[in-house]
Chains A and B, each alone.
Chain A
Amino acid sequence: MSGSGHGQTMRITLKVWRQDNPSDKGGFQVVDVPGVSPEMSFLEMLDVVNGRLTESGDRPIVFDHDCREGICGSCGVIINGVAHGPERGTATCQLHMRKFSDGDTIAVEPWRAAAFPVIRDLAVDRSAFDRIVEAGGYISAPTGSAIDANMIPIPKPVADASMDAAQCIGCGACVAACPNSAAQLFTSAKLAHLNLMPQGQPERWARTEAMVETMEQFFGSCTNHGECQDACPKEISVDFIAMMNRDYVKSKRKNRQLLSQSI
């Protein structure tokens, strides 16, 4: 290994999920990984393992990744039973090997949920999230020149709350961490992000009803354990879930009233 110039390296045992295709049964592969630098990120460690697997003619481990700085939401695996690993408020790509000790066995497996089928190894299909966003996670704006951002006054606390919700990177850790595979934290963040804003008001009730009901076609239901908030790399609060529940019940009434206003 190059770059291990500064001192100690670690030797870990990787117990990693291998599965050829969505219908394959899959199983754990145990890989001995010597020469791990504590400075590596978790994904860099996987890169090193993949390099060695490739050299020895084995199929490298498939895992999703892109930005490697915690903003794209592609990465994300269960590490030792915890979504995104032991470090709070970070994605897998931001986890460093120094969080582990020499001699550790590290179990890595994909998100598991009916709505997140495994594609191969650690990569899962998260397009159920896209179905939820398609159902209403947008605002309809007439085209033309964009109006000046400061034309619409927004109280600071509202803007802050909306920005907190907008931090969601759609990684799916909330679903993975939830004992019920519920997507409440994701959906509520996508809802709050728009529902709090003046621009989100015209479609607020239609959006809420549609996104919640689409979510329910794919995911489990919330029992308020709070595991999602704990696993979220952006530390999004379960307060948004309460907000969503309130808005959903209200949307049923509001949408009925709106219906009676059309001729």
Chain B
Amino acid sequence: MATTTVRSSGVSARGLVKPAFRRPQKRLPYPFGLYQSAVGKKWVMGVTGLMLMGFVLVHMIGNLHMYEGPAKFNEYAEALRTLGGHFIPREWALWGLRAGLLGAVALHIHSAVTLTRINRAARPTRYQASRRYRVANTSSRSMRLTGLVVILYVLFHLADLTWGRIFPDTYIYGDVYNNVVQSLSNVPVAIIYIVANVALAVHLRHGAWSLFQSLGWNNPKFNAARRTFANGFAAIILIGNLSFPIMTLAGVVSQDERTAPCHLLDGEPTDICLGDEAKAQFDPTAVAKEGAKK
């Protein structure tokens, strides 16, 4: 192997190089010690990325219920809350899944941040003439940016549709259909949604290929298919997720299919989730009377 060493004064025959990164002082027991190495961190990033991909896919497919109208869509949302049936209390299974997701996101971001720091330190002096990349692509070079856009968007998305903080006046707990339509028919929100989902697709175009390498899943039999899988996966997520704001803006998903008023948390009937036609006929006193009759 080729190595040049300098034997001038002050420089040892073993070269100029000192380790740039220290080994961990204490090795954690198996399997936690894995996370103390960069290769192990990348493996964790791959596993958590795969978990997040599973979530993103299921989430997208689940949201397709939107096209079946308010009743079916809200029914689906309720089904998520009652996952596990009578065997476990309401929302426990959902919280279990949420905890798993939260853990995955935390590890995914932690590994991304720590590995990025290592990588910056590994080349303290950058190339002084311009560098030319030949195979690294926009996707692979923008993982940190697209990841950041996605996490910021997720926080916004939670504030909007889970916590009801963005449109508190029209947010109705449990009426998922209403909340989605109120939110996505707002053009700035729809734009945020579209930008973030493009970022997610760009992230996945590299990530869904990269994870095979990180996890060591390679085999000459399917290596070529890994790129196809990543592109296909990113495309499916992109098309599915972009259809929601586009279809809402186009009026395909709208409140017009509503016939009954919906109820606010305090039980008062309201017309905010009705289409224009139904709204014109809405008489809160009639509804209240009907309620009293029951």
Q: Do A and B come from one complex?
A: yes
On A, residues with C-beta under 8 Å from B are: 15, 17, 22, 28, 64, 66, 72-74, 78, 80-82, 107, 109, 112-117, 119, 123-131, 133, 169-172, 179-182, 212-213, 216-227, 229-231, 238-239, 241-249, 252-253, 256
Known contacts A212-B39, A225-B141; is-contact A242 B213 (Cβ 8 Å): yes
Q: Is B121 an interface residue (CB 8 A)?
A: yes
Could you tell me the distance between the alpha carbons of A74 and B33 in the complex, rounded to whole angstroms?
Answer: 36
Known contacts A225-B140, A230-B134, A256-B30; is-contact A180 B123 (Cβ 8 Å): yes
Interface of B is mostly: loop
User: B121: shortest Cβ distance to chain A, in Å?
Assistant: 7
Residue pairs across A and B with Cβ atoms less than 8 A apart, 26 shown, are A66-B2, A73-B2, A78-B127, A78-B131, A82-B132, A114-B123, A125-B3, A125-B5, A125-B6, A127-B3, A127-B14, A129-B3, A130-B15, A180-B118, A212-B39, A217-B19, A217-B23, A222-B214, A223-B119, A224-B209, A225-B135, A227-B133, A243-B218, A244-B216, A245-B43, A246-B217
User: B79: shortest Cβ distance to chain A, in Å?
Assistant: 37
> Contact: A221 with B41, CB < 8 Å?
yes
Q: Is B37 an interface residue (CB 8 A)?
A: yes
User: B30: shortest Cβ distance to chain A, in Å?
Assistant: 5
> Contact: B17 with A131, CB < 8 Å?
yes
Known contacts A115-B20, A222-B42, A248-B40; is-contact A242 B216 (Cβ 8 Å): yes
> Contact: A125 with B215, CB < 8 Å?
no
Select the residue from A128, A225, A227, A246 with max chain B CB neighbours within 10 A.
Answer: A225
Closest 8 CB pairs of A and B: A246-B216, A220-B122, A127-B15, A81-B132, A242-B218, A170-B1, A180-B119, A107-B129
Of residues 17 through 45 on chain B, the ones whose CB sits less than 8 Å from some CB of chain A are 17, 19-23, 30-31, 33-34, 37-43
Could you tell me the distance between the alpha carbons of A247 and B37 in the complex, rounded to whole angstroms?
Answer: 14
Q: Is B212 an interface residue (CB 8 A)?
A: yes
Contacts of A78 in B (CB 8 A): 127, 129, 131
User: B212: shortest Cβ distance to chain A, in Å?
Assistant: 7
Q: Is B199 an interface residue (CB 8 A)?
A: no
Contacts of B285 in A (CB 8 A): none
Sample of 17 further A-B pairs with CB below 8 A, known A221-B119, A227-B136? A17-B128, A80-B132, A112-B127, A125-B3, A170-B2, A171-B2, A212-B37, A212-B39, A217-B22, A218-B21, A221-B122, A223-B119, A225-B141, A230-B135, A242-B218, A244-B39, A246-B218
Could you tell me the distance between the alpha carbons of A97 and B214 in the complex, rounded to whole angstroms?
Answer: 39
User: B14: shortest Cβ distance to chain A, in Å?
Assistant: 6
Of residues 95 through 143 on chain B, the ones whose CB sits less than 8 Å from some CB of chain A are 115, 118-119, 121-136, 140-141, 143
Could you tell me the distance between the alpha carbons of A19 and B23 in the complex, rounded to whole angstroms?
Answer: 32
Instruction: Give the total number of A-B pairs whose CB atoms are below 8 A apart.
Output: 204
> Contact: A221 with B126, CB < 8 Å?
no
Q: Which residue of B lies closest to A212 (CB)?
A: B39
Q: A227, A249, A256: which contacts B216 (Cβ < 8 A)?
A: A249
Q: Is B231 an interface residue (CB 8 A)?
A: no
Q: Is B162 an interface residue (CB 8 A)?
A: no
Interface of A is mostly: mixed
Q: Which residue of B lies closest to A208 (CB)?
A: B39
> Contact: B37 with A248, CB < 8 Å?
yes
> Contact: B30 with A253, CB < 8 Å?
yes
Q: Which residue of B lies closest to A120 (CB)?
A: B6
Contacts of B140 in A (CB 8 A): 223-226
Could you tell me the distance between the alpha carbons of A126 and B5 in the complex, rounded to whole angstroms?
Answer: 8
> Contact: B133 with A216, CB < 8 Å?
no
Could you tell me the distance between the alpha carbons of A112 and B40 in the complex, rounded to whole angstroms?
Answer: 25
Contacts of A125 in B (CB 8 A): 3-6, 15-17
Could you tell me the distance between the alpha carbons of A129 and B3 in the complex, rounded to whole angstroms?
Answer: 8
Could you tell me the distance between the alpha carbons of A242 and B213 in the complex, rounded to whole angstroms?
Answer: 5
Q: Which residue of B lies closest to A88 (CB)?
A: B134
Select the residue from B3, B141, B220 with max chain A CB neighbours within 10 A.
Answer: B3
Q: Which residue of B lies closest to A106 (CB)?
A: B129
Contacts of B131 in A (CB 8 A): 78, 81
